[in-house]
Amino acid sequence: MTTDPSPPRATPRPFAPFEFMIAWRYLRARRAEGGVSVMTWISLIGIALGVMALIATLAVRAGFRAEFVDTILGANAHVTVYQQPRQIAEGVVVPGRIADYDTLAGRIEAIPGVTRATPVVKGQVMMQSGDRSMVAEVFGLTPEALAAIPRVADPATGIGRIEDFGQGIAIGSGLARELGVGPGDTLRVISPQGAQTPFGTTPRVNAYQVAYVFTAGRYDIDRTRAYMPLSEAQSFFNREGVADEIEVFVDDPERIDRWTPALLEVAGEGAQVWTWRDSSGAFLRALDIEDDVMFVILSVLVLIAAMNITSGLIMLVKNKTRDIGILRTMGLTEGSVLRVFFLCGAFTGVIGTLAGVILGVLLSLNVSTIMAAINWFSGGGAWDASVRGIYELPAQLRAVDLARAVGLSLTLSFIVTWFPARRAARLNPVEALRYE
């Protein structure tokens, strides 16, 4: 006599629809039925707030860095070529000057990737208007070169006509405000390096009309910088026929080091280069370090919020001990039980993360309005441009920052969920139903 073997027992595939159904039913159950605890709600809200803070912080840091770099590149040369100081006698050193500056600028512009090369004369002066005076740094360049500087030649922020620069000077808005002048007014410009006389060097004093007032977006630039036509600057600073340096602009300033060897080769012996990273690299590196520190600190806050999932899930497992025993006797495997309770915690993490992303994006998009409100309530001074360099708090949402925040939150939520779910899976069904 033969007996038919019983058919093999089918093993449900991982994360089957019924596992999602049971997990969602447990989460929706009322507290009296052993459902979602207060700890679960606390963890969900905590994760949402942590992700919101993380996204908003990363967006503000990215926006601050982007605005800071944009103001540097929009109002300054990407790289400057100059000559080393020369020693003409024992103990006598004279600054390096560039005599054939037009020829050198042409050779530099022929380098692939260089968009513009401009001869510049620089000097420190005292500017006076009535009883007001300010120290300023004067850049002498051609009207065409001034019109090519994005942050300076912006018609949306400039006052006056930049086309009149050849008949006057251009000054920053902060400098104009401190001196109380505008387009059409006259300034006295005083340079200590004036004319040579038998009695020594006498200061040079000239009067210039303000032709244009610009706002570059940087507090230090707007408050200290002025532009003068190149020929006039050469005469005023005793630089007849020479230039102090060549300002060079390239098509990819983020990779400015690529052009250093070619510039040194073209400029010849004694030439030196100074890039925008050399002048601001320390500050940018400090920003990068601060970004990493802020990410770690806020990650700890998200971890603390995610740890509450463990507490809520342990309470849920305790309340569902009888249900676990019944499910196990009905044939549910340890893996299925583990996945059911893992999904309970994962749902909390996913919902909290999604809510945090929405809140973080909304906060980042309205950070300027929020700062304006804070500034109004505090009576002004909440954002000090003299300390931070730029005039407003910007925010820049980047996909990589959103991915970092979401990935961190979900990873931490899934990790802390695993341990109570594993404990539920290992629960002995006999022990679970002993007192039922």
pLDDT per position as a tens digit, 322-369: 766 777 677 677 777 777 778 888 888 888 999 999 999 999 888 878
% helix / strand / coil in the chain, to the nearest 5?
55, 20, 25
- Can you give the length of the chain in residues? 436
Q: What is the pTM of this model?
A: 0.73
| Position 232 confidence tier, pLDDT thresholds 50, 70, 90 | very high
The pLDDT, as a whole number, for residue 248 is: 94
Please choose, from the candidates 248, 231, 241, 227, the residue with its C-alpha nearest in 3D space to the C-alpha of residue 105. Answer: 248
| Position 34 confidence tier, pLDDT thresholds 50, 70, 90 | very low
Q: Report pLDDT digits (tens) over 366-392.
A: 887 877 777 777 666 655 555 455 666
What is the percent of the chain where pLDDT is above 70?
81
Contact 26, 321 (CB under 8 A): no
Contact 172, 224 (CB under 8 A): yes
Average pLDDT for 67-77: 83
| Position 121 confidence tier, pLDDT thresholds 50, 70, 90 | very high
The mean of the pLDDT values for the chain is: 81
**Least confident window among 67-71, 145-149, 191-195, 243-247:** 191-195
Ramachandran area for residue 335 (φ above 0: left; ψ -120 to 50: alpha; else beta): alpha
Contact 315, 36 (CB under 8 A): no
Strands 200-214, 169-172: pairing kind: parallel
